[in-house]
């Protein structure tokens, strides 16, 4: 069999198998799905049956056997021998995680992964099979071996965008139109028209071109939009698992999930929503016994389109915010005097939950604690140019409203991470980066400098300028970075890690605004603070010296 | 059997992977000029309304309309050779009886383990031999 065909087969296998995994995941996370719904159980059964077929087709026989075991369990659910409760759902979801990892792994890793997980899955299956199945037993005791998280599997798809052919055709036509107009413009330039007529025609053409370019711009922006749906599966899984680990019965309902938002926004939203939802399960929804007649906790996530953006509502029907606890915390933090606190209206008081260091739980819970508070959520949302606020009624529930604008202005940046604080430089200002050995330094000069556009540019050490994290290592790794904008230039020497990434920057925090070279701040995925370098201020260094 | 590429075949399977594998086997035969594909029985029947086909390779388990239903309808409306390609149609299963009643022209296992070159060759040969037998 030729290599191309084999590659095509494996790619198709991966696509198809992943589809069956995610469709089963969706079914298992559907809280309205119970074991009386024959049609849904049939689809679940069919998905695993198809998976078996796929594993057989590519000769993954051990995984086929594994899937066979899972299929048997679903057969038992179908015949009502085994209940479809949240413990079983959790076990089946973990089995799917394992299958996904096997599917996405390369053939070399696969054998090892199968060997490592075979027993884990068998153990899960056996515990499901056990006649004296304990309703309250928690599967979290069984932990998958240290595997990469299955959500990282989707990374591959995140690097690609799916574009419908209609949009592509439309863009193609528009580009054709624009280039033909440009040709007309060229021809006109060659003809010797009398100036009145010439200008009139040019004006018309410019109008047409302007309109077309605006349309092109809108269409391209539109292509960057991603359905918020891509977030939902992960969030559902998260709510489900949080509820299980806290032993709470929670129904999670998502509405408006076909709304769309810009890629960058989706990425930031993902962590913000995860945090808010965990928060709702953990702090919002009461313990089962406390809820009594209220029954299962209800958590809602709604997306709706507004004139200039997206409105997202995270709601729960839990106990509501506790005024006394917030007052207590405010006193403790000494943010306001006791009298001032008493005079605050409820909405005014609630705004404080977005303050740094604010958490009314005295012990940090494993679930939504993590040392990260609502302040980080607020920071992330405002980095998108969005807003967050909260409405709460005791005994009725809490609602968080997130207003997100349509487009966040992202900047491509060169990021220098081996400095005391991470600094980012807009790539549009970077002229070149060269290894120190490739750079012709100005000879006979007291300070190291280079010549650029007939000007002598001194080389400044980034580690000295921005503060150093580690001892400055000498060596061939040293890079010279030439920054240039508006005919001004600045040269930096730097020794360390360089990466490229997209960022959305905030106005500098008042705390850092005194730092000389910072024009914006942001937080990356690992919660590192990144400063946007103030290029203009850098140029001023040379100007002052001159 | 004529070696001239003139005959048309329809592959019916809900898995694109399986259709790819079957297409690869068929292509190596130089017998068929056109290969049609359908994802389920319903799609296959719609396709047969407007296209003349000499052979159908039919999977059993499919959503919307399964292979058994499709075979019934094909037998009612068309004069086409049908090979059932399914592991379910193995001797002894309840499906094999049904398939026999509906008189499929051949029953063969899916090309499973197809990524293993030697096994793929074996399965491929089985299918090719069966098809050759039908058109001799």
Considering only residues A307 and A348, tell me which one the structure prediction assigns the higher pLDDT: A348
Rg (CA), chain A: 29
Q: What's the pTM value of the predicted model, to 2 decimals?
A: 0.60
Phi, psi of A23 (to 5 degrees): -70, -35
pLDDT computed for residue B94 by the predictor:
66
Q: Give the integer Cα–Cα distance in Å for A38 and A125.
A: 22
Considering only residues A151 and A77, tell me which one the structure prediction assigns the higher pLDDT: A77
| Residue A127 β-bridge partners | none
Domains of chain B with CATH codes: 7-135 (3.40.50.2300)
In terms of CA atoms, which chain A residue is nearest residue B117? A1
- Whose tokens are 């006193």? That residue is A331
CATH number of A3-158: 3.40.50.300, 1.10.287.3610, 3.20.20.70, 1.20.120.160?
Answer: 1.20.120.160
Query: Residue A367: enclosing H or E segment and its boundaries?
Result: none
Share in percent of chain B as helix, strand, coil (round to 5): 45, 20, 35
Q: Cα separations (Å) of A251 from A31, A42, A48, A240, A300?
A: 6, 23, 25, 9, 8
Point out the residue among B14, B61, B113 whose CB comes nearest to the CB of A56.
B113
Point out the residue among B15, B18, B117 whose CB comes nearest to the CB of A1.
B117
Mean pLDDT of A367-373: 52
**Top-tier CATH class for A411-545:** mainly beta
Residues of A in contact with B17 (CB under 8 A): 9, 12-13, 16, 54, 57-58
- Touching B: A residues 52-91, CB under 8 Å: 53-54, 56-59, 61
Considering only residues A416 and A528, tell me which one the structure prediction assigns the higher pLDDT: A416
| 3-state SS assignment for residue A468 | strand
- pLDDT reading at A133 higher than 60: no
**Going by C-beta distance under 8 Å and a sequence separation of 6 or more, which residues neighbour residue A80?**
A35
Q: What is the largest CA-CA distance in chain B?
A: 39
pLDDT grade, residue B42 (50/70/90)? very high
In terms of CA atoms, which chain B residue is nearest residue A49? B61
- pLDDT reading at A302 higher than 80: yes
| 3-state SS assignment for residue A264 | helix
pLDDT computed for residue B40 by the predictor:
92
Mean pLDDT of A492-514: 79
pLDDT computed for residue A150 by the predictor:
43
CB contact under 8 A, A53 and B115: no
Specify the DSSP class assigned to residue B54.
S
Q: A422 with A431: CB under 8 angstroms? A: no
Q: B107 with B83: CB under 8 angstroms? A: yes
pLDDT per residue as tens digits for the range A45-81:
889 988 988 988 888 888 888 888 888 888 888 888 8
Q: Give the integer Cα–Cα distance in Å for A293 and A295.
A: 5
- pLDDT reading at A144 higher than 60: no
- pLDDT reading at A121 higher than 50: yes
CB contact under 8 A, B87 and A16: no
- Strand order across the beta sheet in which A455-461 lies: A430-435, A479-485, A488-494, A455-461, A449-452
CB contact under 8 A, A57 and B18: yes
Mean pLDDT of A445-465: 86
By percentage, how much of chain B surpasses pLDDT 90? 26
The CA distance from B87 to the nearest CA of chain A, in Å, is 9
Q: Give the integer Cα–Cα distance in Å for A351 and A334.
A: 16
Confirm whether A3-158 and A228-405 share one CATH topology. Answer: no
Neighbour tally for B122: CB within 10 Å? 12
Considering only residues A78 and B4, tell me which one the structure prediction assigns the higher pLDDT: A78
Q: A30 with A84: CB under 8 angstroms? A: no
pLDDT grade, residue A198 (50/70/90)? confident
| 3-state SS assignment for residue A360 | coil
Phi, psi of A63 (to 5 degrees): -70, -35
Residues of B in contact with A12 (CB under 8 A): 16-17, 20
- Strand order across the beta sheet in which A309-316 lies: A250-255, A297-306, A309-316, A397-405, A387-393
CATH number of A228-405: 1.10.3080.10, 3.40.50.720, 3.30.565.10, 3.40.630.30?
Answer: 3.30.565.10
**Going by C-beta distance under 8 Å and a sequence separation of 6 or more, which residues neighbour residue A23?**
A43, A47
Q: B14 with B44: CB under 8 angstroms? A: no
| Residue A457 β-bridge partners | A450
Using the Cα atoms of residue B65, residue B71, residue B72 and residue B75 in order, give the sign of their dihedral.
positive
- pLDDT reading at A285 higher than 60: yes
pLDDT computed for residue A131 by the predictor:
42
pLDDT computed for residue A381 by the predictor:
86
Point out the residue among A5, A16, A59 whose CB comes nearest to the CB of B15.
A16
The CA distance from B18 to the nearest CA of chain A, in Å, is 8
Point out the residue among B15, B117, B120 whose CB comes nearest to the CB of A54.
B15
**ipTM surpasses 0.85:** no
- Domain residues of chain A, as ranges? 3-158, 165-223, 228-405, 411-545
Spatial CA neighbour of A416 closest among A496, A475, A520: A496
Beta strands A422-426 and A411-416, pairing class: antiparallel
pLDDT computed for residue A132 by the predictor:
44
Considering only residues B25 and A130, tell me which one the structure prediction assigns the higher pLDDT: B25
Q: Give the integer Cα–Cα distance in Å for B110 and B67.
A: 14
The CA distance from B123 to the nearest CA of chain A, in Å, is 11
pLDDT computed for residue A145 by the predictor:
41
pLDDT computed for residue A298 by the predictor:
93
Q: Give the integer Cα–Cα distance in Å for A95 and B103.
A: 40
């Amino acid at each position: 069999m030729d290599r191309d065909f084999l590659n095509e087969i494996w790619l198709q296998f991966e696509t198809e198998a992943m589809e069956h995994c995610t469709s089963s995941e969706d079914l298992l996370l559907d809280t309205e799905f119970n074991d009386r719904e024959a049609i849904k159980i049939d689809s679940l059964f069919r998905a695993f049956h198809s998976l078996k077929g796929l594993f057989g087709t590519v000769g993954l026989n051990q995984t086929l056997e594994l899937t066979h075991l899972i299929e048997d369990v679903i057969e038992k659910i179908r015949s009502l021998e085994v209940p479809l409760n949240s413990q079983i759902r959790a076990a089946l979801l973990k089995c799917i995680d394992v299958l996904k990892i096997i599917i996405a792994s390369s053939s070399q890793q696969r054998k090892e992964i199968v060997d490592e997980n075979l027993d884990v899955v068998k153990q899960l299956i056996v515990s499901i099979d056990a006649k004296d199945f304990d309703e309250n037993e928690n599967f979290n005791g069984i932990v998958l071996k240290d595997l990469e998280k299955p959500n990282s599997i989707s990374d591959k798809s995140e690097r690609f965008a799916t574009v419908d052919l209609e949009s592509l055709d439309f863009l193609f036509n528009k580009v054709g139109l624009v280039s033909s107009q440009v040709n007309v413009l060229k021809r006109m330039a060659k003809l010797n028209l009398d100036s009145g007529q010439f200008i009139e025609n040019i004006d018309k053409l410019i109008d047409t071109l302007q309109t077309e370019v605006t349309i092109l711009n809108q269409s391209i922006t539109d292509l960057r939009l991603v359905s918020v749906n891509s977030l939902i599966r992960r969030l559902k899984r998260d709510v489900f698992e949080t509820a299980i680990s806290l032993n709470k019965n929670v129904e999670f309902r998502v509405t408006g999930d076909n709304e769309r938002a810009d890629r960058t926004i989706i990425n930031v939203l993902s962590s913000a929503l995860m945090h808010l939802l965990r928060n709702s399960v953990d702090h919002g929804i009461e313990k089962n016994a406390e809820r009594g007649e209220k029954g299962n906790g209800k958590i809602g996530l709604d997306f709706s389109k507004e004139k200039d953006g997206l409105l997202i509502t995270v709601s729960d029907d839990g106990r509501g915010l506790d005024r006394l606890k917030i007052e207590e915390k405010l006193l403790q933090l000494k943010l306001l005097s006791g009298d001032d606190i008493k005079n605050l209206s409820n909405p005014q008081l609630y705004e404080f939950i977005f303050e740094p260091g604010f958490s009314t739980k005295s012990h940090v819970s494993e679930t939504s604690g993590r040392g990260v508070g609502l302040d980080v959520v607020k920071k992330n949302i405002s980095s998108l140019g969005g807003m967050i606020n909260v409405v709460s009624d005791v005994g009725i529930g809490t609602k968080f409203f997130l207003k997100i604008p349509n487009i966040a202005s992202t900047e491509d940046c060169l990021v220098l991470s081996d400095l005391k604080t991470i600094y980012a430089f807009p790539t549009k200002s970077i002229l070149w980066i060269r290894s120190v050995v490739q750079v012709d330094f100005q000879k006979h000069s007291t300070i190291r400098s280079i010549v650029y556009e007939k000007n002598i540019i001194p080389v400044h050490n980034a580690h000295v300028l921005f503060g150093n994290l580690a001892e400055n290592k000498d060596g061939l790794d040293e890079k010279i970075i030439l920054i240039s904008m508006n005919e001004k230039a600045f040269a930096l020497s730097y020794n360390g890690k360089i990466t490229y990434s997209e960022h959305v920057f905030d106005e500098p925090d008042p705390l850092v605004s005194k730092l000389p070279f910072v024009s914006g701040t942001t937080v990356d995925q690992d919660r590192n603070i990144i400063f946007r370098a103030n290029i203009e201020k850098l140029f001023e260094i040379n100007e002052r010296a001159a | 059997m004529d070696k001239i590429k003139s005959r048309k075949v329809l592959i019916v399977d809900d898995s694109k992977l399986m259709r790819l594998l079957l297409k690869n086997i068929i292509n190596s035969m130089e017998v068929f000029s056109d290969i049609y594909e359908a994802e389920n029985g319903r799609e296959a029947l719609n396709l047969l309304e407007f296209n003349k086909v000499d052979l159908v390779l039919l999977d059993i388990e499919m959503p919307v309309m399964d292979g058994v239903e499709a075979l019934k309808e094909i037998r009612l409306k068309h004069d086409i050779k049908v090979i059932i390609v399914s592991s379910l149609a193995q001797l002894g299963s309840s499906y094999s009886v049904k398939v026999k009643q509906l008189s499929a022209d051949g029953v063969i296992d899916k090309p499973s383990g197809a990524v293993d070159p030697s096994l793929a060759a074996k399965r491929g040969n089985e299918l090719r031999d069966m098809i050759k037998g039908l058109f001799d």
